[in-house]
Amino acid sequence: MAQTDGRKGEIIQMASKLFRERGYSAVSMRDLAAGIGVKAASLYNHISSKQEILSSIIISIAERFTEGMNAIVSKKVSVKNKLEEMIDHHIQVMIDNPDGIACLNNDWVHLKEPELTYFLDMRNGYEENLRKILKEGIKSKEIKQVNVEVMLFSMLSTLRTLHLLHEKKKGIKTDNLKNEVKQILLTGIMN
C-alpha cells in the first residue's frame, strides 16, 4: 500500500511528483529536499538512499497491479467481463496514484537488482495473464482473429499512459473515464 503519512510518506509523495515531471535522474536530493522544505541531509534520517525511494514508489504499485490481475484471470466469467474488470482495476490504481504510475512507467529502468528482476517478473506476469485472457476470447470467438500481440500492446499502451489524459482532463469523472476507455478499447471507434 502507498505510504502517505509521516515524513517518509511526504518524501515519497514529493519524489513521485518530481520524478514524474523531470524523471528520476534529473531530480537531485537537493531538489527533493527543497520541495519539502528541509535540507538534503535531513532526508537520510527517513530513507537510506535515492534508490530506495524509487523502489518504494514502483514496487508497491506493481504489486497492486499484480494482485488485481491475479484475482481476475481465474474468475468464472466471460472474457468480456474479465477485460472490463481488468480495465476498471487498472484505471482505479492509476486514479489512486497518478504520479507513482508515471514514475513506474518512465523510471523502472533505473531500478537496481534485486528489485529490477522482481519488478520485471511482475510486469511480465501481468502481460502474460492478459495475453491468456485474450487468447481465451479468440478461442471462444468473443474476440476477433487479430494478432494477439498487437491487440495486447494497444490495450496496455493506452492503459499505461492514461495518467497523461487524467492530468489534462481533470474534470472527467472516474466512472465516465472507465466506461469510455472500455468502450473504445473493446469495440473500437468506427461505425
**CA angle (129 as vertex; 128, 131 as ends), nearest 5:** 65
Which partner from the list a second copy, DNA, none does 81 bind, CB cut-off 5 to 8 Å by kind? none
Which partner from the list DNA, a second copy, none does 183 bind, CB cut-off 5 to 8 Å by kind? a second copy
Do 158 and 181 meet the contact criterion of CB atoms below 8 Å apart? Answer: yes
Instruction: Using the minimum distance from each CB to DNA, give the nearer residue, 6 or 186.
Output: 6
Return the residue of 20, 50, 64, 82 that touches DNA, per CB under 7 A: 50
Under rule CB under 8 A, residue 191 binds a second copy: yes
Which partner from the list DNA, a second copy, none does 154 bind, CB cut-off 5 to 8 Å by kind? a second copy
Under rule CB under 8 A, residue 189 binds a second copy: yes
End-to-end CA distance of the chain, in Å?
A: 42
Under rule CB under 8 A, residue 185 binds a second copy: yes
Do 162 and 94 meet the contact criterion of CB atoms below 8 Å apart? Answer: yes
Site string for DNA, 3-42 (x = CB under 7 A): ----x-------------------xxxxx-x----xxxxx
* Grid coordinates given for 118: 522482481
Write down the residue that cell numbers 500492446 correspond to: 153
Residue at 111: amino acid letter: L
Return the residue of 40, 153, 167, 174 that touches a second copy, per CB under 8 A: 153
For 6: left if phi > 0, alpha if psi spans -120 to 50, otherwise beta; the answer is left
CA distance 186 to 31: 42
Which partner from the list DNA, a second copy, none does 146 bind, CB cut-off 5 to 8 Å by kind? a second copy
Distance in Å, CB of 134 to a second copy, minimum: 8
**CA angle (33 as vertex; 31, 39 as ends), nearest 5:** 120
Instruction: Using the minimum distance from each CB to DNA, give the nearer residue, 18 or 93.
Output: 18
Write down the residue that cell numbers 519524489 correspond to: 15
Which listed range, 9-17, 51-59, 115-123, 160-168, lies at the site for a second copy (CB under 8 A)?
160-168
